[in-house]
């Protein structure tokens, strides 16, 4: 038997670890080159990983919910064309005997994540494990991390597995238990039987549906798919939840076998419990670190302007009826994005970054326009590359694509890197404005408030004034005062507001 390990690859962007979200294969499955075997979540995005070789899966070396470092073996595959039954049985037995997540085998100080290398244990009695191969460690016992980032000298730390909602919720203050008469134990509900599928194929579902099922603690193998080709839809999962409420327990899920990683139950507020604890990880963890770094590194200044955006609303309505924009979404955000690009052209120093190491201000002659997006995974800021070169129609397409990808949780790290200036659209939540924190590596961020009907003093062509109901909004610009002074910030936000008040200015200035 020739067993090869697939190690967690470097996801890029300086990331050193990732969480195992969903395994798409199980022990005994046959895989081909580039088959998607696992979905991982980094601090920036969800990523599907293809396996680089073909064969039979002998072991899943880490469980769903585990956080592992780059270079850690995550799956073992027999590439010799099939594993003997005796070896396969040994592999499955060794998986059941594997240590829990977070444990470190004795005598391997500074080693990577726990050694859940079942295939290595099964073959240990038959052949010597060479250094750097299945389950082996280097002669120095060091932990390999990202190329260019050196070697990690301390023991690798892992986040402990979550067994369910009970592990995440702080218990209420203990009270002495009152004696109660013994009651006959109710029979445990039988676990739902897996849905029979042709050829024993695994359940088919798109990543957002898999995430929903995972959050609800549902095994997709027990859900019948109503979509084309038997694909499980969101409605199927929700219907299964309604029909099977209370029928499963975390113990039943764990009894499915160690080779099938346990599904984690969602965080639920229970009656009488006063606190709920949610692990800080993934996007939320990265966002927190970035915002703290930005707030305490760049001296923030925020300026506000209130404008009459009636002309922008009228333009939006005209564009919605224009055949050129028939198949794209047109919103005031589109007009603001174009106004930002025009204003950057007039004031290029706003589109810059502070290089502390070289003591330089780096002015960018391109606009990678970031759009802050609230997703189920947290706040992310993908950006539109070279937005200043796009037409209004192309910009609308780019915003639509960016938004759809973010909602599906498919935004990749490259789409969130290299931003130069950002928009945060707080108006969609009915918020008037705010004091946004600058995205790290940039010098300014603009908050776009809600557009409301409000009384406004309107000056007529003859100079007379009247009070009329108009569409009014507020803009708030936060900027890094190390490289953007008050004059530059004021001129920039004034120009953006002027274009929203009279979009024709964009033609003159653009």
Question: In this predicted structure, what is the pLDDT of residue 297?
Answer: 82
The answer, yes or no, to whether residue 312 has pLDDT greater than 50, is yes
Question: In this predicted structure, what is the pLDDT of residue 448?
Answer: 97
In this prediction, residues 115-137 reach a mean pLDDT of: 34
Q: In which band, very low, low, confident or very high, does the pLDDT at 340 lie, cut at 50, 70 and 90?
A: very high
Rounded CA separation 218/221 (Å): 9
Q: In which band, very low, low, confident or very high, does the pLDDT at 272 lie, cut at 50, 70 and 90?
A: low
In this prediction, residues 296-315 reach a mean pLDDT of: 93
The answer, yes or no, to whether residue 14 has pLDDT greater than 80, is no
For Cα atoms 422, 428, 431, give the angle at the middle one, nearest 5 degrees: 90
Question: In this predicted structure, what is the pLDDT of residue 11?
Answer: 62
How do residues 450-464 score in pLDDT, each as one tens digit? Answer: 999 999 999 988 889
For CA atoms 130, 109, 13, 59, the dihedral sign is: positive
Q: For residue 97, what are the contacts with CB-CB under 8 A and spacing of at least 6?
A: 121
Which stretch, 156-170, 183-197, 243-257, 441-455, has highest mean pLDDT?
441-455
The answer, yes or no, to whether residue 201 has pLDDT greater than 90, is no
In this prediction, residues 302-321 reach a mean pLDDT of: 96
Report which of 259, 196, 253, 219 is spatially closest to residue 61, judged by C-alpha positions.
259
The answer, yes or no, to whether residue 71 has pLDDT greater than 80, is yes
**Tokens 């796009």 label which residue?**
390
The answer, yes or no, to whether residue 363 has pLDDT greater than 80, is yes
Domains, the chain, with CATH or none: 3-124 (2.40.50.100), 198-267 (4.10.320.10), 282-509 (3.30.559.10)
The answer, yes or no, to whether residue 42 has pLDDT greater than 80, is no
Question: In this predicted structure, what is the pLDDT of residue 143?
Answer: 38
Better-scored residue on pLDDT, 206 or 232? 232
Q: For residue 101, what are the contacts with CB-CB under 8 A and spacing of at least 6?
A: 62, 63, 65, 66, 114, 158, 160, 161
Question: In this predicted structure, what is the pLDDT of residue 194?
Answer: 62
High-pLDDT (> 90) share of the chain, %: 39
Question: In this predicted structure, what is the pLDDT of residue 70?
Answer: 87
Rounded CA separation 411/13 (Å): 13
**Tokens 């990202």 label which residue?**
146
Alpha helices in 171-303 (DSSP H): 207-216, 234-243, 250-254, 282-295
In this prediction, residues 430-450 reach a mean pLDDT of: 94
Rounded CA separation 355/360 (Å): 5
In this prediction, residues 360-384 reach a mean pLDDT of: 90
| Catalytic residue list | 481
Q: In which band, very low, low, confident or very high, does the pLDDT at 199 lie, cut at 50, 70 and 90?
A: low
Contact 64, 21 (CB under 8 A): yes
Report which of 350, 330, 315 is spatially closest to residue 395, judged by C-alpha positions.
330
Rounded CA separation 257/167 (Å): 21
Better-scored residue on pLDDT, 362 or 412? 362
* 99 DSSP 8-state letter: P
CA distances from 362 to 353, 415, 420 (A): 5, 21, 11
pTM: 0.54
Q: Is 352 helix (H, G, I), strand (E, B) or coil?
A: strand
């Amino acid at each position: 038997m020739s067993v090869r390990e697939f190690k967690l690859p470097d996801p890029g962007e300086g990331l050193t670890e990732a969480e195992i979200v969903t395994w798409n294969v199980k022990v005994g499955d046959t895989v081909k080159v580039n088959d998607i075997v696992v979905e991982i979540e980094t601090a920036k995005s969800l990523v599907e990983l293809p396996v680089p070789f073909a064969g039979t899966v002998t072991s899943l070396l880490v469980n769903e919910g585990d956080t592992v470092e780059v270079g850690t073996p995550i799956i073992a595959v027999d590439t010799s064309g099939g594993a003997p039954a005796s070896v396969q049985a040994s592999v499955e037995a060794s998986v059941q005997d594997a240590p829990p997540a977070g444990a470190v085998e004795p005598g391997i100080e500074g080693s990577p994540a726990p050694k859940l290398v079942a295939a290595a244990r099964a073959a240990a009695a038959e052949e010597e494990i060479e250094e750097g191969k299945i389950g082996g460690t280097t002669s120095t016992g060091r932990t390999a991390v990202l190329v260019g980032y050196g070697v990690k000298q301390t023991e690798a730390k892992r986040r402990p597995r979550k067994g369910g909602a009970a592990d995440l919720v702080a218990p209420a203050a203990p009270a002495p238990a009152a004696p109660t008469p013994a009651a006959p134990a109710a029979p445990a509900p039988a676990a739902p039987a897996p849905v029979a599928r042709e050829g024993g194929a695994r359940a088919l579902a798109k990543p957002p549906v898999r995430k929903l099922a995972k959050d609800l603690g549902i095994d997709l193998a027990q859900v019948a798919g109503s979509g084309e080709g038997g694909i499980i839809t969101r409605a199927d999962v929700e219907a299964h939840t309604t029909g099977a409420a209370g029928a499963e327990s975390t113990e039943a899920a764990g009894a499915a076998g160690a080779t099938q990683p346990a599904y984690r139950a969602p965080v639920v507020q229970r009656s009488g419990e006063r606190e709920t604890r949610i692990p800080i990880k993934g996007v939320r963890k990265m966002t927190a670190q970035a915002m703290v770094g930005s707030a305490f590194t760049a001296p923030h200044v925020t300026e506000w302007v209130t404008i009459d955006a009636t002309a922008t609303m009228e333009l939006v309505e005209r564009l919605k009826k224009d055949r050129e924009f028939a198949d794209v979404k047109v919103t005031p955000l589109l007009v603001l994005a174009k106004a930002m690009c025009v204003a950057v052209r007039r004031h290029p120093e706003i589109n810059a970054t502070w290089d502390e190491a070289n003591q330089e201000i780096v002015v960018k002659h391109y606009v990678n326009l970031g759009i802050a997006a609230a997703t189920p995974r947290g706040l992310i800021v993908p950006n539109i590359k070279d937005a200043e070169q796009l037409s209004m129609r192309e910009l609308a397409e780019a915003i639509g694509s960016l938004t759809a990808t973010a909602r599906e949780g498919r935004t990749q790290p490259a789409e969130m890197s290299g931003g130069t200036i950002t928009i945060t659209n707080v108006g969609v939540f009915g918020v008037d404005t705010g004091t946004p924190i600058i995205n790290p590596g940039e010098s300014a961020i603009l908050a776009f408030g809600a557009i409301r009907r409000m009384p406004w003093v309107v000056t007529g062509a003859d100079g007379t004034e009247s009070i009329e109901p108009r569409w009014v909004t507020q803009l708030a610009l936060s900027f890094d005062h190390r490289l953007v002074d008050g004059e530059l910030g004021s001129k920039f936000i004034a120009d953006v507001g002027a274009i929203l008040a009279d979009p024709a200015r964009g033609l003159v200035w653009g």
